[in-house]
Amino acid sequence: MSITIETNDMMTSKVDVDSPDEATGGVNAGGSEPLKKGPWTSAEDAILMDYVMKHGEGNWNAVQKQSGLARCGKSCRLRWANHLRPDLKKGAFTPEEERQIVELHAKMGNKWARMAAELPGRTDNEIKNYWNTRIKRHQRAGLPVYPPDICFLASQNKQNEELSAFSSADAQNPDVSGTNNFDIPAVEFKNLELNRPLYPPPLFEIPSNSLLDITVSSFLAQGHSPPYNSTSFLSTMHPSKRIRGSESVFFGSNGGSLLGQPLGFSSYNNHNVTYDDHRPFSSIVIPGSHAPLNGNSSSSEELPSLQNQTANWGPPSSPFPSLESVDTLIQSPPAGHSESGSDLSPRNSGLLDAMLYGSQTMKASTHNSHQENETFGDAVDNYYGDPLSPLSHFTASAFSEYAPIDGSSLHEFPSLATMPGCKVKQENVATSSGQACGRDSCAWDAMSAM
DNA sequence: AAGGGGGACAACCGCATCGCA
DNA sequence: TTGCGATGCGGTTGTCCCCCT
């Protein structure tokens, strides 16, 4: 075998591959013996590499038969995809990539493969590991995971999930599910590229009994200028990445509000409620409806091309400092909060669970009066000091991140202004988070660097 | 110096989806 | 339409290394 493989793979590089047995995992080419598991050796890598060069990707189960490699097809595919692919980008994530991951996660949730499709040279596994590690850190610190300006996306994502669940739960109800599952081809979204701001749509209906208070508060916390122009995973997804059928809900839920008014959505032209980002939180009129609003503002308008993505996230234009640059700002997590945060810790979809938990905590705390100290808001206050500081903007965002999904209505929720440490400044609201690095965002970045 | 905890990374497992016969 | 193999994805676990005490 004359293939030279450069593997930055820590584990592999440490493996002694001199033993001839290891080249095939100690299994003969007949494949009669059990397949090998565990770390790959350089020799195995070479075999796999050679195979792919000769036969191309795919047909992974044939690798074992044809090359004698004692690895199952899945293992081969994974090894190739995560380590041997020539287009892989090695090394740590750049701040831009980190930022992008956060944004993508806010939009997509734990869709690692799709996120990887947005990050050339990066693998889903890499992103997943990065995120999980990051989650753990934030969880331990009892801190929000999304920066304020991305909270909105998180809430959008949550709504999408909710809508998805709603749809499946009502699968037998054609009135609901029938309108929620159409697959919108990417081309349709292209045609729907709009020149207006991404979100929120200026007008929307808010269900009175849903998690949408997240969005409302997020809007207010953010202003509704997105920190970026948005990305389109539809248009940029790697061809090899398939969109799972179940994911169509994601698109459909959004496309639905654009292409028609399934689910009783208000379209942009059906103005039951006017959202005005200059208005105080409490003044938003929220008529009853069970229609999730996500569709209005999220991906359908988030789906425009990726053309500006780099420009919007690159260092020059990015309002956010390098995650590393603020690494030392955070010294220690707020005492006592990490424990509470770890109970219902964000596990899988992570942040959304955290949002739920946080919201419950918040809700309980607000109901139980402000004298209780272990509230999120208080924790934030304690953490960042002056509750009236500009960081209160952050607090509001944190609040938005930890909004309830358990049916508490918006009216049940205290306004941001009444939350401990929460003071929504309208001037902040009106300010695009994508244009200036407010202390909130910077503070978040500091946390994210923890 | 030793031990423990946490981070980073790699790999496996189970399930979902797709494509094809 | 159905069954089955191939593939992809997300969650989880295991391992190693580094740092701190």
- All structural domains of chain A: 40-86 (1.10.10.60), 91-163 (1.10.10.60)
What is the sign of the dihedral through the CA atoms of A173, A175, A180 and A181?
positive
Question: A154-192 pLDDT, tens per residue?
Answer: 665 555 545 544 443 343 333 333 333 333 333 333 333
Whether the beta carbon of A400 falls within 7 A of nucleic chain C: the reply is: no
Return mean pLDDT, chain A.
49
Q: Look up the protein residue whose alpha carbon has the minimum distance to the C1' of C16.
A: A11
Closest nucleotide to A76: CA versus each C1': B11
Rounded to whole angstroms, what are the CA distances from A302 to A16, A169, A320, A351, A422?
A: 48, 26, 20, 20, 29
Nearest by Cα to A46 from A65, A62, A22, A26: A22
Distance between CA A340 and CA A357 in Å, rounded?
Answer: 9
- Matching residue, tokens 């006017």: A274
Q: Look up the protein residue whose alpha carbon has the minimum distance to the C1' of B13.
A: A74
Indicate whether this model's pTM tops 0.85.
no
Question: A107-145 pLDDT, tens per residue?
Answer: 888 888 888 888 888 888 888 888 888 777 776 677 777
Residue A126 (CA) to nucleotide C11 (C1'), in angstroms, measures 14
pLDDT confidence band for A152 (50 / 70 / 90): low
Is A226 in contact with A435 (CB distance < 8 Å)? no
Residue A356 (CA) to nucleotide B1 (C1'), in angstroms, measures 46
Question: A52-107 pLDDT, tens per residue?
Answer: 888 888 888 888 888 888 888 888 988 998 888 888 888 888 888 888 888 888 88
Report the Cα–Cα distance between both ends of chain A, in Å, rounded: 45
pLDDT-wise least confident of A261-265, A351-355, A371-375, A392-396: A261-265
What backbone phi and psi angles, to 5 degrees, belong to A170? -105, 30
Which residues of chain A between 120 and 179 are close to nucleic strand C, CB under 7 A?
Answer: 124-125, 128-129, 132
Whether the beta carbon of A110 falls within 7 A of nucleic chain C: the reply is: yes
Exposed/middle/buried for residue A20 (C-beta within 10 Å: 0-12, 13-18, 19+): exposed
